[in-house]
Chains A and B, each alone.
Chain A
Amino acid sequence: MTTASMTMPSSMPDKASEPLREKTIEQPVASSSATVAPVVDTPAIKIGRGQLREALSVLVRAVLPPFIGLALLVGIWAIVAMKTSGFPGPLKTWDAAVIIFSDPFYVNGPNDQGIGWNILSSLKRVAIGFGFAAAVGIPLGFAIGRFKFLNAMVDPIISLLRPVSPLAWLPIGLLVFHRADPAATWTIFICSIWPMIINTAVGVQRVPQDYMNVARVLNLSEMKILTKILFPAVLPYMLTGIRLSIGTAWLVIVAAEMLTGGVGIGFWVWDEWNNLKVEHIVIAIFVIGIVGLLLEMLLLQIAKRFSYEYS
């Protein structure tokens, strides 16, 4: 009893206190690293009992609520699965997931490929459609933000087309491209372009007048204005547009692929429905969610890197 309770706090809090120590180091380092180093060492050695407890409670507060939430979700899921027939419970789904993820990159013909290939081909479509949308939308957004006339000209068109579900454009894509794959990419292009145009344009309109005055006083060339002032000032807005675009694109690709077929996570969901493998659909839902979350987090990290403190 006593040995167990003795060893527990000595090993556990070490990990817990580490992020805290890092935080305390981070700030003073900027001013002078030489004087700070010895100061940090001493409290690390004789961390008091109160500090340990505090570090532990910070950890618990950060981890516990999400854990309870997820546990609750799984619990409700298990109960629902028990009460209904045909809906797989968490265990059955887990077993299926283990099988699927043990060989994610198999290829048995064009309509039967591993989940890895399905995710990658969906991501590829999103990347291509999004890439085209960025190539068109960002310059257009700059132009609209810079020239009032163009803004007034294009604004009604955007207002009219933006609320249209991108899937409504799918038949047009099929008609023009004759093939399913570029048609799916086309819907991604359509849904990604609006946030990109609008956010870029707003960013350009909101470039602080002070910066433009600097440009005027220095008499900078259009090129310098674009690279040194407009682009960096608009970048955070642009990145918000990109984040929104990718989010919507990832939503839309699943639906588009359900309609077009081929290889892709959306098609896979539909295929598994036809095979009545509901546990695979549940897995797909988790996979789609996790990939979407990762995309969002990645873009937030990029945005953080390029946000400046305006003061």
Chain B
Amino acid sequence: MKSLVQVQDVGMRFDTKKGSFVALRDINLNISEGEVVTLIGHSGCGKSTLLNLIAGLTLPSDGVLICNGREIAGPGPERGVVFQNHSLLPWLSCFDNVMLAVERVFGAKEGRAKLKARTKAALEMVHMDHAMYKYPHEVSGGMKQRVGIARAFAMEPKILLMDEPFGALDALTRASLQDELIGVMGKTGATVVMVTHDVDEAVLLSDRVVMMTNGPAATIGEILEVKLDKPRNRLKLAHDPLFVEYRAAILEFLYQKQLKQAA
């Protein structure tokens, strides 16, 4: 498969009052087209920092990041982002929130009716077409996140970056959104990088699980290939010995090798 994103010897330092703080070091990662990669690790291990680097929201102190053959110098619509707290604009309806992104990406070459159809299709894909003219404060947290996902998908990005997209949701809503995401990824064949702290989520959704060591100066500890057949079904997987094995491997990494020192 063609490699889409290359992360080469990337390090990240933040200048703080106490001097410079090394968040990430020596990160090397290749992400192929159509691949789903999750980043997992304890909090503070810099997984969100790595995602922001790929998004271009922050620029690395060392090394380079390349997307689609070009160096990442800032954010761009070919890299869609789903934020943890949905980040919908409260003064726009769900439809207009998605439309804003669609207009930006396709507005130059497509007519108004086509743009609207795109927006509607994106909202239908996440089953939000029944509430698309509602405002964000009128719908539940899970629905807001659906709209956030629709917004990112509607831009037809080369790669989709998700920063703990379901972190703020309750377990049941999270499960239904994960299933939704599995469906959408299956349909679109999207390339996804997702930050999570949920082991089950990581195994369920990804082709590769990138496990990160504890910060400061975090780096990639291990990479686990998940060779489960797609589409995946959470009920069947629960008893699948391979699933259990993957799960155990990640847990072992997180809670044995990288056990967080009691602060």
| Supplied contacts A217-B81, A228-B89, 17 more A-B pairs, CB within 8 Å | A30-B138, A211-B87, A213-B57, A213-B83, A213-B87, A214-B87, A216-B74, A217-B57, A217-B75, A217-B80, A218-B100, A219-B75, A219-B76, A220-B100, A224-B100, A224-B104, A232-B91
Are the C-beta atoms of B83 and A210 separated by less than 8 Å?
yes
Contact indicator per residue, chain B 3-34, by CB within 8 Å of chain A (1) or not (0): 00000000000000000000000000000000
**A57-82: which residues lie under 8 A (CB-CB) from chain B?**
none
Are the C-beta atoms of A210 and B57 separated by less than 8 Å?
no
A309 at interface, CB cutoff 8 A: yes
Complex formed: what's the CA distance from A216 to B75 in Å? 6
Contact indicator per residue, chain A 204-238, by CB within 8 Å of chain B (1) or not (0): 00000011011011111000100011001100000
**A174-220: which residues lie under 8 A (CB-CB) from chain B?**
210-211, 213-214, 216-220
A10 at interface, CB cutoff 8 A: no
**B98-135: which residues lie under 8 A (CB-CB) from chain A?**
100-101, 104, 135
Most buried by A among B55, B76, B77, B89: B89
Chain B min CB distance to A213 (Å): 6
Q: Which residue of A lies closest to B79 (CB)?
A: A217
Are the C-beta atoms of B101 and A218 separated by less than 8 Å?
yes
**Chain B contact residue count (CB 8 A cutoff):** 23
13 A-B interface contacts by CB (under 8 A): A214-B83, A217-B75, A217-B79, A217-B81, A218-B77, A218-B155, A224-B100, A224-B104, A228-B89, A308-B90, A308-B91, A309-B90, A309-B137
Are the C-beta atoms of A219 and B90 separated by less than 8 Å?
no
Residues of B within 8 A of A217 (CB): 55, 57, 75, 77, 79-81
Chain B min CB distance to A229 (Å): 7
B92 at interface, CB cutoff 8 A: yes
Q: Which residue of A lies closest to B77 (CB)?
A: A219
A311 at interface, CB cutoff 8 A: yes
B258 at interface, CB cutoff 8 A: no
Are the C-beta atoms of B137 and A308 separated by less than 8 Å?
yes
Residues of A within 8 A of B92 (CB): 228
B178 at interface, CB cutoff 8 A: no
Residues of A within 8 A of B137 (CB): 308-311
Chain A min CB distance to B151 (Å): 9
Q: Which residue of A lies closest to B152 (CB)?
A: A217
B48 at interface, CB cutoff 8 A: no
Contact indicator per residue, chain B 153-185, by CB within 8 Å of chain A (1) or not (0): 001000000000000000000000000000000
Complex formed: what's the CA distance from A224 to B77 in Å? 15
Most buried by B among A213, A214, A216, A310: A214
Residues of B within 8 A of A229 (CB): 89
Instruction: State whether A310 and B90 are in contact (beta carbons under 8 Å apart), knowing that A216-B75, A219-B76, A228-B100 are contacts in the complex.
Output: yes
The 4 closest A-B pairs by CB, nearest first: A309-B137, A308-B90, A232-B91, A210-B87
Q: Report which of A210, A211, A219 forms a contact with B104, defined as CB distance below 8 A.
A: A219
Most buried by B among A216, A217, A233: A217
**A125-168: which residues lie under 8 A (CB-CB) from chain B?**
none
Q: Which residue of A lies closest to B90 (CB)?
A: A308
Chain B min CB distance to A27 (Å): 12
Complex formed: what's the CA distance from A299 to B74 in Å? 41
Q: Which residue of A lies closest to B76 (CB)?
A: A219
Residues of B within 8 A of A224 (CB): 100, 104
Contact indicator per residue, chain B 55-80, by CB within 8 Å of chain A (1) or not (0): 10100000000000000001111011
Are the C-beta atoms of A218 and B104 separated by less than 8 Å?
yes
Q: Which residue of B lies closest to A309 (CB)?
A: B137
Contact indicator per residue, chain B 230-261, by CB within 8 Å of chain A (1) or not (0): 00000000000000000000000000000000
Complex formed: what's the CA distance from A210 to B104 in Å? 18
Residues of A within 8 A of B57 (CB): 213, 216-217
Q: Which residue of B lies closest to A229 (CB)?
A: B89
Residues of A within 8 A of B74 (CB): 216
Residues of B within 8 A of A219 (CB): 75-77, 104
Complex formed: what's the CA distance from A219 to B77 in Å? 7
Complex formed: what's the CA distance from A218 to B55 in Å? 11
Q: Which residue of A lies closest to B86 (CB)?
A: A210
Residues of A within 8 A of B83 (CB): 210, 213-214
Contact indicator per residue, chain A 16-40, by CB within 8 Å of chain B (1) or not (0): 0000000000000010000000000
Residues of A within 8 A of B90 (CB): 308-310
Complex formed: what's the CA distance from A149 to B247 in Å? 53
Contact indicator per residue, chain B 36-48, by CB within 8 Å of chain A (1) or not (0): 0000000000000
Most buried by A among B74, B77, B90, B101: B90
Residues of B within 8 A of A228 (CB): 89, 92, 100
Complex formed: what's the CA distance from A228 to B85 in Å? 19
Complex formed: what's the CA distance from A228 to B97 in Å? 10
Q: Which residue of B lies closest to A209 (CB)?
A: B87
Chain B min CB distance to A268 (Å): 43
Residues of B within 8 A of A211 (CB): 87, 89
Chain B min CB distance to A148 (Å): 18
**B185-240: which residues lie under 8 A (CB-CB) from chain A?**
none
Chain B min CB distance to A32 (Å): 13
